[in-house]
Amino acid sequence: MIPLIDAKLEEYAIAHSRAPSSLLRELQEYTHQHCDNPQMVTGPLEGAFLRMLVQLVDARRILEIGMFTGYSTLAMAEALPEDGELISCELDRDHCAIAKSFFDRSPHGGKISVVLGPALDSLETMDGPFDLVFLDADKENYVHYYEKTLALLRSGGLLVADNTLWSGRVVDPKKHTDRALAAFNRQVQQDDRVENVLLTVRDGMMLVRKNP
């Protein structure tokens, strides 16, 4: 991932945002030491932002597509009320095992259910409504995840899609994944069922509010 903003500015933004819990810090460190592609972790700035969004939409039910070792999952679960629920879809068994080992140590872990398997299949078994959806799995399927999860989102609910600037490659797409993300951004922009804003946070975050 090519940083969109200067590393010092990013550090400054992190230092002036809500600090992650000690367990989240440990999870990030563990992922960096033991996992391939640790840059996939959303990390402290995006984690603090997701946490803020959970509170702003007064979320009680969250659906996540793409959990990895569970950073974003735990960051959002920590902000849910006691009776809140977060369902996370993840393809990789090893990622699930690591994530669950951290959820088991969190007082918020009981709010999280993990669904193992290809998310498009898992979505067929889901019942809405959800207050918040977070898309962060295989980018080639974002256009499909969008339609399926928008149907499960409550009116006025929020869908957040990560990596939507894709290190800037959406501007002049060359590879399949570049084109897939550019197509997703176009799809959202042209959808009159929603209101959206594409933020330059980290690798780009598309925020989509389903119109009441």
Ligand X SMILES: C[S@@+](CC[C@H](N)C(=O)[O-])C[C@H]1O[C@@H](n2cnc3c(N)ncnc32)[C@H](O)[C@@H]1O
**Residue numbers of the site for ligand X (CB under 6 A)?**
40-42, 66-69, 71-72, 89-92, 95, 118-119, 136-138
The amino acid sitting at 136 is D
Contacts of 63 (CB under 8 A, 6+ apart): 86, 87, 88, 89, 126, 130, 132, 133, 134, 149, 152
Tell the smallest beta-carbon distance from residue 118 to ligand X (Å).
4
Smallest separation (angstroms) from ligand X to the CB of 200: 18
Q: What are the helix (H) ranges across the chain?
A: 7-15, 22-34, 43-56, 71-77, 93-103, 119-124, 142-152, 176-189
Q: Residue 2 CB, nearest distance to ligand X (Å)?
A: 15
CB of 211 to ligand X, least distance (A): 26
| Residue whose CB is less far from ligand X, 72 or 185 | 72
Single-letter amino acid code for the residue at 113: S
- Ordered alpha helix ranges (H), 16-70: 22-34, 43-56
Q: Which is nearer to ligand X, 31 or 185 (CB)?
A: 31
Closest to ligand X by CB, 2 vs 190, is 2
| Cβ closest to ligand X, residue 169 vs residue 190 | 169
Question: Smallest gap, in angstroms, from Cβ of residue 11 to ligand X?
Answer: 19
In whole angstroms, the minimum distance from the beta carbon of 212 to ligand X comes to 28
Give 89 or 194: the residue with its C-beta nearer to ligand X.
89
Gap between the Cα atoms of 127 and 25, Å rounded: 32
Q: Are 60 and 85 in contact (CB under 8 A)?
A: yes
**Residue 40 to residues 16, 68, 70, 84, 124: CA-CA distances in angstroms?**
22, 8, 11, 26, 26
Pick 94 or 195: Cβ nearer ligand X: 94
- What the block records as the tokens of 62 is 């969250």
Q: Which amino acid is at 85?
A: E
